[in-house]
Amino acid sequence: MSEKNRKPELLIPASNLEVLKTAVIFGADAVYIGGEAFGLRAKAKNFSKEDMQEGIRFAHENGVKVYVTANILAHNRDLEGARAYFGELREIGPDALIISDPGMFSIARQVWPEAEIHISTQANNTNYMTYRFWWEQGAKRVVSARELSLEEIREIRENIPEKMEIESFVHGAMCISYSGRCLLSNYFTGRDANQGECTHPCRWKYAVMEESRPGEYLPVYENERGTFIFNSRDLCMIEHIPELMEAGIDSFKIEGRMKTALYVATVARTYRKAIDDYLRSEEEYRNNLPWYRDEIAKCTYRQFTTGFYFGKPSEQAQIYDNNTYVSEYIYLGIVGAVREDGLARIEQRNKFCTGDEIEIMKPDGRNIPVKVERILDEEGNEVESAPHPRQVLFLQLSAAPEQYDILRVKND
């Protein structure tokens, strides 16, 4: 099979049931989620057993797979709980487990022998012998280390079984530590990143102080090798779909299991269109590059980089002067249902008012400007504005939305 014909999976993160449904509707082929234990995003809301069951049911009804993360680097105290957890997951029935720790891998194989297992990027997967090792243990897929170039991934593809799958991150935040194995959070706050409790100290502001000059903070001057400040730009490969496919990557993974539904919808929809356009025609893909660039910039992001894919990043891959995000649009809510009288139910996320010009973001790529004509609260009372987060409201818009549409407004 030529790499051009190797249709890649679009793998989208979800922090909760609402975001999972958004990912499914806006173009995911698969969604990865965390349960209430053993994942690397403990601060994410994550999924209860009931929500996981509902999410898997909804995804499967729409032809989408669900993978569950259990990718902590386990300590002795974690092992018995992991055994019980994998037993519970076996009953729930996700499509795969994402694991990094060999001990956790062994327990999963004992408890659920037929489970499909994917090896997390946390396992430092940087060469084809590592891929072969995990294949021989029974893993179906390995997630490439962020530090690999496309040339290295291409070489891995040439030296592993054809049925073995390569998954690689193509978009989202970049951890400054090797394959995400960071000790800064543990050192500064006692919260271990490798146990899912990262506080992102790489985004904090730092200064240099010389030992004999306490309290005197020195400016950081840049030399030809950069200043090594920790705050990385965000990865974005939307302009390089052909190169990703030619390298033989089976799954394009989006980072962001703590992101909003607006972020997930924006990234999923943009990469979905880019992949599908390229599979139809490279010319169509090239012609639509301006649309991809415009759309991907509408979600919250730090400045973009291509990471390690085209060689070792220069100092330009770091952000030296701030740790803030660019945010062009504000998330207002998801349309939950549309009543017979045309009023759309939403659980409001940010303030807006009657008379505001907002936008309906649709899964098919359309962005429809509309006016908010009426706002009703749950009791049916007319209100002029929606100031309270998560307030349930019913909206009359100048054009009718549909269930699962996203409502957003430009951040002026």
User: Apex CA 44: angle with CA 39 and CA 47, to 5°?
Assistant: 70
Q: Which fold has domain 329-410?
A: Elongation Factor Tu (Ef-tu); domain 3 (2.40.30)
Q: Residue 227 above 60 pLDDT?
A: no
Percent of the chain with pLDDT over 90: 65
- Please report which confidence band the pLDDT of residue 179 belongs to, taking 50, 70 and 90 as the band edges: low
Quick one: average pLDDT of 143-161? 96
- Please report which confidence band the pLDDT of residue 262 belongs to, taking 50, 70 and 90 as the band edges: very high
Contact (Cβ atoms closer than 8 angstroms) between residue 342 and residue 396: yes
Contact (Cβ atoms closer than 8 angstroms) between residue 81 and residue 37: yes
- 46-78: pLDDT as tens digits: 789 999 999 999 999 999 999 999 988 889 999
Q: Which amino acid is at 349?
A: R
**What's phi and psi for 54, nearest 5 deg?**
-65, -40
Ordered by start, the domain boundaries in the chain are: 9-176+231-317, 183-225, 329-410
Which of the pair, 37 or 336, is modelled with greater confidence?
Answer: 336
The helix/strand/coil state of 311 is: coil
Q: Which fold has domain 9-176+231-317?
A: TIM Barrel (3.20.20)
Rounded to two decimals, the pTM is: 0.84
H/E stretch holding 223 reads none
- For position 228, what pLDDT does the model report? 41
In angstroms, the first-to-last Cα distance of the chain is 48
Spatial distance between the Cα atoms of 223 and 220, rounded to a whole number of angstroms: 10
- 275-321: pLDDT as tens digits: 999 999 999 999 999 999 999 988 765 677 888 899 776 555 444 44
- For position 319, what pLDDT does the model report? 47
Spatial distance between the Cα atoms of 319 and 203, rounded to a whole number of angstroms: 9
Quick one: average pLDDT of 328-352? 92
Spatial distance between the Cα atoms of 244 and 290, rounded to a whole number of angstroms: 19
Q: Residue 34 above 60 pLDDT?
A: yes
Quick one: average pLDDT of 160-178? 86
- For position 256, what pLDDT does the model report? 81
